[in-house]
Amino acid sequence: MLKNLIETLRPRQWTKNFVIFAGLIFDRQLFSVVPALRVLAAFGIFCLVSGLTYTINDIIDLKADRQHPQKCHRPLASGRLSLKQAIILAILLALVGLSTGFLLSWKLGLISIAYTLLMLAYSKWLKHIMIVDVMVIAAGFLLRVLAGISVIQVSFFSPWLFILTALLALFLGFGKRIAELRLLEGNAGEFRKVLNGYSIPLLNQYLIVMLAAILITYMLYTFSAHPQGPSYAMMLTIPFVFFGIFRYMYLIQNFNTASAPEEILLKDHPLQAAILLWGVAVMLILYLRY
């Protein structure tokens, strides 16, 4: 049962919560012990809150998930976890996750509640509204970034990073919709009504718009990435961003199994290499330049 409970929390999707560290890293506090521990604690709390929203989503979508070719294997939909057990799990996660958020920071507590309510509204209503469904996902990423900033004193955090986070989340969200349409083929609307409003040609156009916006925004960010003044060193990281974006587009266009960004991140080695090299380059530029 413990394995089923953990699987219901979807730890694979916790990779999304790593954006919580954005404020810590880009404000050059990564090696400051107290801020790092506080953000790490915020990451753990948000994993619990994320698990809460996933559990409630599985409860709400139980009937639909049982008909889905992939989601039917989830613990609750497959019957490996009972509805009663899922409800108890959700209650415990709400009590522990939300309360500890307030203990760490009242701002984090409010952000956790806002995120939970947003995701509940998404599960119940917003995911059925075309375009709004993906915009809500982007809002969730922005709340994660704010969660990381809320528990430390940040002296510099470029507004470009907020815009970039939202654009990247939209890009990943529309890419996921393409993968879902290909996986479910002509029956997509039966499993998720909002997919009736999307088509692969339309989503490809959205991706092109998002791609251009992401690359332009990131290049503009590199001009003002340093807290201590203008520097163009961050421009050296642009090729890694180009490769990562292009690699993701290649994967969602050529593989039906790439239904979720976190699955791609955990499986595709070239994409992992691009992210790793980008991260190393950012660390060297931000922390060794001065």
Q: How far apart are CA 102 and CA 148, in angstroms?
A: 14
Within 10 angstroms of residue 280's Cβ, the number of other Cβ atoms is 12
Q: Of 114, 136, 155, which closes a domain? A: 155
pLDDT tens digits, one per residue of 116-158:
999 989 988 888 889 999 999 999 999 999 999 999 988 877 8
Residue-averaged pLDDT of the chain: 85
Residues 240-253 have a mean pLDDT of 88
pLDDT tens digits, one per residue of 48-98:
999 999 888 888 877 777 777 777 778 888 778 888 888 888 899 999 988
Is 5 in the same domain as 141? yes
Q: Of 92, 122, 155, which closes a domain? A: 155
Is 101 in the same domain as 196? no
Is 179 in the same domain as 78? no
What pLDDT, on a 0 to 100 scale, did the predictor assign at position 188?
A: 57
Which domain range does residue 272 map to? 158-290
Q: Of 103, 131, 155, which closes a domain? A: 155
Percent of the residues in the chain that have a pLDDT greater than 70, as a whole number = 90
Is 123 in the same domain as 199? no
Is 262 in the same domain as 205? yes
Is 137 in the same domain as 189? no
Predicted structure pTM score? 0.85
pLDDT above 80 (res 231): no
Is 135 in the same domain as 165? no
Q: Compute CA distances 107 → 20, 87, 98, whole Å.
A: 14, 27, 11
Is 123 in the same domain as 15? yes
H/E stretch holding 249: helix 238-254
pLDDT tens digits, one per residue of 168-225:
999 988 888 887 787 766 665 566 677 788 888 899 999 999 999 999 999 988 887 6
Show Cβ contacts of residue 69 under 8 Å, excluding neighbours closer than 6 positions: 183, 184
What pLDDT, on a 0 to 100 scale, did the predictor assign at position 261?
A: 65
